[in-house]
């Protein structure tokens, strides 16, 4: 068999296809074996081919959570349609019988963790398995994976800039030939390539388990480094390209770790809170150039990351802490950095730059989890089981309230969808609060929303499903 024939055979394997590296090794072995004496060629080639394909098969059938034959569209375990009445299935990925313990959405990926301690990454647009990672010691993560904020989007934009710069360089070289203008374009292209390289160093996912911080590549899942922390984190880190912000509630402070220094601590942001029993720390959350967190006594802190200066504090008072989250909204031609959080039964909206209170709304009970902002609507659930929709601007008015609900799911084009009592999904008119539809949740155990592309995700025993609201 020639290298070309073997390459064609490898290309025909079902997805996930062999990596370019594996294909190159197989073809290089074939070419080398073909050059050996004929008496040993067949035996050596057979051994090399068997070893290479066996290694690839192990990856496909043991590690990855299901090849393309398992990516069924809208079929339940009994063979009947498994989609929701108000949505259509985009993709479905089986998990090879592994029990899912937690799912997490990022801008590009969907992560799910399994009972046996594996972290799986899927392309959330196609359901394609990207990688599987086992933490050291086999312990599951204490918190959801933390993806470096905005880095993947930055790389995507730089790669588009690189293509444009390359086309312009080729065009100029063809029209004018070598010269100062071409050299300037070459320097610009090299600068973009260097920026892509540097950004790639921070394109990571961070996992915390039993005080051990693991840094893995977001694109491959390869382990880059680990660091046993000298303190006990009280929540997941918030990651940006070069740093991680890790909360330590017992001391009411935020630790800053350096990515390039493999998680070494480089700064601490203290709070003005007094130590108390069973403390909680809200956040952190980052929006360039500031990081925000809420101390156990309900005091909100804003630090400027560039120089470590405390910019402002806001005393909300004691109570159960939810959030914070930060969004940028336009109002009257002005962009406002809206910081949302809850303390006790009150939901707050603040100007994150100036530290000024925009509005405060009594929700009737402490919030269960943090608020969610979609468009100009804020959605939250209270401990009493009320799902509320509020106006983000101008004044935090409660638009509607649905009682006896488990959680807000996602915002559709017209309706908001909430998980109500008795495993029933309610379609609620987002302006009036009237229930326009009721749909059984079926065997789905968990739902994750992602409103920007109209997609949302559901988990049932043995599968992850991506849906899109029907037109």
Confidence check: pLDDT of 1 > 60: no
In a domain, 350, yes or no: no
Q: Mean pLDDT throughout 42-62?
A: 42
How many distinct structural domains can be found in the chain? 2
Contact 411, 428 (CB under 8 A): no
The domain boundary residue, chosen from 63, 89, 104: 63
The domain boundary residue, chosen from 11, 32, 63: 63
The domain boundary residue, chosen from 166, 200, 234: 200
Confidence check: pLDDT of 68 > 70: no
In a domain, 184, yes or no: yes
User: 197 - beta bridge partners?
Assistant: none
pLDDT band for position 76 (50/70/90)? Answer: very low
In a domain, 301, yes or no: no
In a domain, 322, yes or no: no
In a domain, 470, yes or no: no
Predicted pLDDT of residue 117? 84
pLDDT band for position 274 (50/70/90)? Answer: low
Confidence check: pLDDT of 95 > 90: no
Distance of CA 237 to the CA centre of its chain: 13
Domain limits at 176? 151-200
Q: Mean pLDDT throughout 333-350?
A: 94
For tokens 């929709």, name the residue.
Answer: 389
In a domain, 21, yes or no: yes
E-assigned strand segments in 332-429:
334-343, 346-351, 356-362, 372-374, 377-381, 387-391, 398-402, 407-411, 415-419, 424-429
In a domain, 18, yes or no: yes
Nearest alpha carbon to residue 105 among 144, 143, 151? 144
Predicted pLDDT of residue 81? 43
What would the two tokens of residue 121 be? 């990454």
């Amino acid at each position: 068999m020639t290298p070309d024939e073997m390459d064609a055979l490898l290309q025909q394997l079902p997805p996930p296809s062999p990596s370019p590296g594996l294909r190159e090794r197989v073809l290089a072995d074939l070419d080398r074996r073909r050059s050996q004496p004929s008496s040993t060629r067949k035996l050596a080639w057979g051994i090399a081919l068997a070893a290479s394909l066996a290694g690839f098969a192990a990856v496909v059938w043991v590690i990855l959570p299901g090849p393309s034959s398992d990516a069924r569209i809208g079929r339940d375990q009994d063979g009947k349609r498994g989609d929701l009445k108000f949505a259509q299935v985009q993709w479905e990925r089986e998990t090879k019988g592994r029990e899912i313990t937690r799912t997490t959405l990022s801008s590009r990926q969907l992560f799910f963790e399994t009972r046996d301690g594996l972290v799986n990454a899927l392309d959330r647009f196609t359901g394609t398995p990207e990688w599987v990672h086992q933490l050291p010691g086999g312990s599951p993560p204490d918190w959801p994976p933390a993806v470096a904020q905005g880095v993947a989007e930055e790389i995507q934009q730089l790669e588009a800039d690189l293509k444009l710069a390359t086309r312009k360089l080729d065009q100029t070289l063809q029209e004018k030939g070598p010269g100062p203008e071409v050299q300037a374009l070459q320097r610009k292209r090299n600068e973009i390539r260097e920026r892509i390289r540097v950004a790639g160093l921070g394109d990571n996912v961070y996992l915390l388990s039993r005080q051990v911080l693991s840094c893995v590549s977001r694109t491959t899942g390869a382990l880059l480094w680990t660091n046993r922390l000298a303190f006990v984190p009280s929540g997941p880190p918030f990651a940006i390209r070069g740093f991680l912000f890790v909360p330590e509630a017992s001391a009411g402070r935020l630790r800053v770790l350096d990515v390039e220094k493999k998680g070494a601590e480089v700064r601490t942001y203290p709070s003005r809170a007094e130590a108390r029993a069973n403390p909680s720390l809200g956040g952190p959350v980052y929006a360039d150039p500031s990081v925000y967190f809420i101390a156990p006594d309900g005091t909100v802190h804003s630090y400027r990351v560039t120089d470590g200066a405390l910019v402002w504090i806001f005393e909300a008072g004691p109570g159960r802490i939810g959030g914070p989250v930060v969004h940028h909204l336009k109002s009257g031609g002005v962009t406002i950095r809206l910081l949302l959080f809850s303390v006790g039964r009150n939901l707050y909206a603040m100007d994150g730059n100036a530290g000024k209170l925009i509005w405060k709304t009594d929700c009737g009970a402490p919030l269960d989890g943090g608020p969610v902002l979609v468009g100009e609507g804020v959605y939250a659930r209270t401990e009493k089981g009320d799902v509320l929709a509020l106006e983000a601007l101008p004044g935090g008015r409660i638009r509607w309230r649905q009682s006896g609900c488990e959680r807000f799911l996602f915002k559709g084009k017209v309706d908001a969808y909430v998980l109500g009592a008795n495993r029933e999904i309610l379609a609620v008119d987002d302006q009036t609060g009237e229930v326009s539809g009721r749909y059984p949740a079926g065997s789905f155990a968990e739902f994750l929303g992602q409103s920007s592309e109209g997609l949302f995700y559901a988990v049932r025993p043995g599968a992850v499903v991506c849906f899109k609201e029907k037109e």
